[in-house]
């Protein structure tokens, strides 16, 4: 694959979606004219990626001050939603691997429920913090380049990880080998078909960031998982509430200090209607795929 090629189909003809990112003037965003995939340019090297994550550059570049209490508060809605989602699909006796386990909040939740879960986190800073939160095993392994030696797994989980991986198909094929014959992979990513990207220029300008190498649509995410040998079911997840949508319309700015995931109880029905509608259309801010390992 050429240096300037699409990381999904390998073709080399692009249109420009954005000339800069919100946290980098040295990168642009390109759309493949062949398959429609969207990716940043230039693609970072593995060494650049290791430095980026070891030093927690994603949050530092975006001006996010780390505070464990604040991180826990902001992550609560996602942690609860993900725990509910996974526990409906996983057996307590099964072996689960989470890749990109971050600060360990999902681990903490699953541990309390008695699940057998191991994690991988390449960020030195995040591993250190997560060990204050959870007793679960969190490994320092770079799956892209390291040799893997795991017992066969029942489930692999990637919450907002695949968009950071340079070669997603190769990466997923490697993970497929770790799964049992009836194993599953859970992949959650931001959704480029997010309805706000078409309707709000301020939101669109804010959207692009250095950490995200890929911007997946449901179509491209399905294609990537199929190429890796998975049968796929995709559903929409709207993480942010209608209040967040209105805030963007009125102010053109995000609610970074207090992101809104839901409304007070008396207005919850409005929020539920909004979220259900765009989730069904796969126009939500997030999509989640369940990949079932093909036996061929």
Return the residue matching tokens 């079911």: 233
pLDDT < 50 regions, the chain: 1-2
What are the phi and psi torsion angles at 125 (to 5°)?
-65, -40
Q: Write out the two tokens for 277.
A: 């509608």
Rg (alpha carbons) of the chain, rounded to whole number:
19
Find the angle CA(7)-CA(8)-CA(10) to the nearest 5 degrees.
70
Q: For the full predicted model, state whether its pTM sits above 0.75.
A: yes
**Cβ proximity of 187 and 289 under 8 Å:** yes
**Cβ proximity of 149 and 141 under 8 Å:** no
The pLDDT value given to residue 65:
62
- Per DSSP, 21 falls in state B
CA nearest neighbour of 234 among 169, 193, 290: 290
The pLDDT value given to residue 60:
66
pLDDT in tens, 184-241: 999 999 999 999 999 899 999 999 999 999 999 999 999 999 999 999 999 999 999 9
State how far the Cα of 224 lies from the Cα of 9, in Å rounded to an integer. Answer: 10
Q: Write out the two tokens for 262.
A: 């839901």
The pLDDT value given to residue 265:
83
């Amino acid at each position: 694959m050429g240096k300037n090629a699409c990381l999904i189909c390998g073709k080399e003809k692009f249109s420009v979606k954005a000339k800069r990112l919100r946290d980098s003037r040295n990168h642009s965003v390109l759309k493949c004219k062949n398959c429609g995939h969207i990716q940043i340019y230039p693609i970072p090297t593995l060494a650049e990626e290791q430095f980026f994550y070891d030093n927690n550059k994603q949050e530092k570049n975006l001006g996010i001050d780390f505070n464990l209490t604040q991180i826990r508060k902001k992550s609560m809605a996602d942690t609860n939603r993900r725990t509910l989602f996974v526990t409906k699909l996983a057996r307590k006796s099964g072996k689960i691997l989470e890749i990109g386990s971050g600060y360990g909040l999902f681990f903490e939740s699953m541990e309390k429920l008695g699940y057998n879960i191991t994690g991988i986190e390449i960020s030195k800073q995040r591993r250190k913090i997560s060990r204050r939160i959870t007793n679960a095993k969190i490994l320092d392994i770079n799956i892209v380049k390291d040799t893997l030696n795991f017992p066969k797994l029942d489930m692999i989980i990637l919450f907002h990880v695949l968009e950071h991986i340079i070669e997603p198909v190769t990466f997923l094929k490697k993970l497929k080998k770790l799964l049992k014959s009836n194993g599953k992979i859970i992949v959650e990513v931001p959704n480029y078909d997010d309805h706000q990207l078409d309707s709000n220029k301020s939101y669109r300008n804010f959207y692009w960031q250095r950490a995200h190498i890929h911007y997946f649509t449901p179509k491209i995410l399905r294609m990537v998982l199929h190429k890796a040998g998975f049968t796929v079911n995709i559903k929409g997840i709207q993480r942010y509430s209608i209040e967040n949508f209105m805030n963007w319309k009125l102010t053109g700015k995000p609610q970074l200090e207090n992101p809104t995931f839901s409304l007070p109880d008396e207005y919850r029905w409005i929020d539920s209607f909004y979220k259900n509608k765009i989730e069904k259309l796969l126009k939500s801010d997030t999509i989640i795929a369940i990949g079932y390992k093909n036996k061929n």
